Amino acid sequence: MATARAEAKHPPAQDLEAISRKRVAFTDRGKDILAARLELEHQGIRPEERSNSGPDPRDLAASMLDGSALPAARPPTPGEELFSLLVEQQAITIALDELAERENQARRIAAAEALQETAADWLEIVRQRALAVLALRRLNQEAAAFRDRIRRIAGGNPTNLICDFNSGPFAPAIVGDHVYSYLEACVKAGVISRSEINNNAA
**For 17-68, how does the pLDDT look when each residue is reduced to its tens digit (9 = 90+)?**
999 999 999 999 999 999 999 999 999 999 988 766 566 777 777 777 777 7
pLDDT at 9 over 70: no
What is the rounded CA–CA span in Å between residue 54 and residue 56? 7
Burial of 36 (0-12, 13-18, 19+ CB in 10 A): middle
pLDDT at 202 over 70: no
pTM over 0.85: no
What is the three-class DSSP state of 73? coil
What is the pLDDT, as a whole number, of residue 72? Answer: 72
What is the rounded CA–CA span in Å between residue 187 and residue 200? 14
Contacts by residues 13-17 (CB-CB < 8 Å, ≥ 24 positions apart): 13/110, 15/102, 15/106, 16/103, 16/106, 16/107, 16/110
Ranges of each domain in the chain: 9-65+75-117, 119-201
Sign of the C-alpha dihedral computed for residues 146, 149, 153 and 158 taken in this order: positive
pLDDT at 2 over 50: no
